[in-house]
Amino acid sequence: MDHSIQDKVSVWLSGNYDEATKHAINGLQPDELADSFYRNLEFGTGGLRGIMGVGTNRMNKYTVGMATQGFANYLKKTYGKEPVSVVIGHDSRNNSRFFAETTAGVFAANGFQVYLFEALRPTPELSFAIRKLGCKAGVVCTASHNPKEYNGYKAYWNDGGQLVPPHDKNVIKEVEAITSVDEVNWTGGEANITLIGRDMDEAYINMVKSLSVYPEVIQAQHDLSIVYTPIHGTGITLVPEVLSRFGFTNVHIVEAQATPDGNFPTVGYPNPEESETMAMGLVMAKSINADILLGTDPDADRVGIGVKNHKGEWVLMNGNQTAVLAFAYLIEARKAKGVAKPNDMVISTIVTTAMINEVAKQNGVACYNVLTGFKWIAELIKEKEANENYVIGGEESFGLMIGNEIRDKDAVSAVALLCEMAAYEKAKGKSLFDKMIELYMQYGFYYEQLISITKKGMNGQKEIAAMMEGFRTTPPASIDGSGVVEMLDYEMQTGKNLLSGETWQLQLPKSNVLQFITADGSKISARPSGTEPKIKFYFSVHTTLASKEAYDDTYAGLDQKIQRIIKDMSLA
């Protein structure tokens, strides 16, 4: 075994670690031992995320405690003698409550006022609570939609958004400076911990209800048939109540997935982006002839929806379609209701469908594109809120952020708004799929696909880095017969016209993302995931849609084009 790995193992076996941890280490097979200790679990710009277990490369009491001490040290340096308060939340995953209590204990032992949610709650409520309580920071223990073996630790700043520069890198430095569990203040501040719960729920629910544009339509369509699954997560704590407060009276819960359970027993992967995860909901939706199906991930920040298409068949909408529907509804409905403001703005991301930009442009609404991640949307709101009115933000990964009171993606408010949208269309004798086709006819038929290539283990990161370097140093000259005219390199912060050689500066922060734009307008983006051992490729193509009757043939043509692009780039 590598000496550096053995040294780390020895520290854990001889140091101030509990006996259960030491026993677990001695029970590991050599390959498991190596993977558990070959590196320190990275505190990235969003926090921690990893497999639970013993070792420096795992989520456990000690890695969580050391991360919290580093975060606490940075907060002390930033605020000096000013009182510091933080909010802690968690989802339904195994050990999430334990990690949340560990985090609360360390912060409290450092003299901070700690507000700890009494039980599991959706991640967006954590963002809301930071702002509501005027706290300096927050943490939610969740691994979002990852498999059951994972857990995580998401760090937030005083605006309710996740950490951005300079705080992200500065916190990372402080976390990396903690080299021993003996440097952690573990206990002694229990009196500084205050439990929060129903009062915060009530404030949050009232905020979500205020986002409704057409409450009178819901009143008329209150019996809209809704199927909802929380996929064993935190959504069950608030989504049914929010739908009831909106006025919906015909809501059906997928009971087999209603109980919070970190083992996620009915799904292999608790992600509403996956059709298998939404399968139980689809069965119920078909059986009762529902109008809409919705599913939220374990920490209720992502939402997936199912609707009947133009043939009466149930289909799952992708994240880009859901985002377009939501953006178009809020832009159009606010205008029709007379509540739109001349300084309204919306925010999308560089890998999300450009159809959003077109919807905003044709409606005279400012649209900004930021890097992937809602922390960048939150940061842009903070930069522009003095002069512009934020309405909605979103990205293709099944996330929406509606209104100005939270600064992270929020599936609870998204579920409510999507149901209101379905009611609005039903009042006109249409479905959300009918509306989607109308939008394609009006703004252009944009079609996107995403593929993820997983590279696990110690060599996975090297393989992903090699793939990115290959595309960066040797960009394709053409893709599917269309010349590549532009390469955007967000890591180098440069754009380049590959025909003329002209270069320019990109005005966004550094991020390891590459984009290729072809002569026919296709866009291909490559981005290593920041939370999982995979590299993601995003494909976007578009054309015009002449009529509703032409939908199927046009869709098939765009789909075939993306399949040719994937094959041409040797990605399948």
Cα gap 286→269, rounded to integer Å: 22
Give the neighbor-by-neighbor strand order of the sheet with 47-51. 47-51, 150-157, 137-141, 85-90, 113-117, 193-196
Catalytic residue among 92, 96, 144, 397: 144
List the one residue out of 185, 16, 15 whose CA is nearest residue 103: 185
Tokens for 155, please give them. Answer: 């760090």
Number of Cβ atoms within 10 Å of the Cβ of 451: 14
446 near 356, Cβ under 8 Å? no
String of DSSP letters for 450-502? EEEEE--STTHHHHHHHHHHHHHHS--SEETTEEEEEEEETTTTEEEETTT--
Instruction: Please give the C-alpha separations between residue 85 and each of 79, 134, 187, in angstroms, as whole numbers.
Output: 11, 8, 17
What is the C-alpha separation between 246 and 122, in angstroms, rounded?
18
d(CA 68, CA 195): 19
What is d(CA 416, CA 50) in angstroms, rounded to the nearest whole number?
A: 32
Omega prior to 166 cis, within 30 of 0 = yes
Cβ–Cβ under 8 Å, residues 192 and 258: no
Long-range pairs of 168-173 with CB within 8 A, sequence gap ≥ 24:
168/45, 168/46, 169/45, 170/74, 171/43, 171/70, 171/71, 171/74, 172/43, 172/44, 172/45
Question: What's the DSSP call for residue 214?
Answer: -
Q: Could you give the residue ranges of the DSSP H alpha helices within 185-234?
A: 198-209, 215-220
- From CA 9, how far away is CA 30, in angstroms rounded? 11
Contact 181, 16 (CB under 8 A): yes
Interatomic CA distance for residues 484 and 505, integer angstroms: 19
One-letter amino acid for residue 77 of the chain: K
Phi/psi of residue 110, nearest 5 degrees? -90, 10
Q: Is 529 a catalytic residue?
A: no
The Cα–Cα gap between 192 and 97 comes to 18
Q: Name which of 140, 195, 132, 142 is nearest 162 in CA terms.
A: 140
Catalytic residues: 144
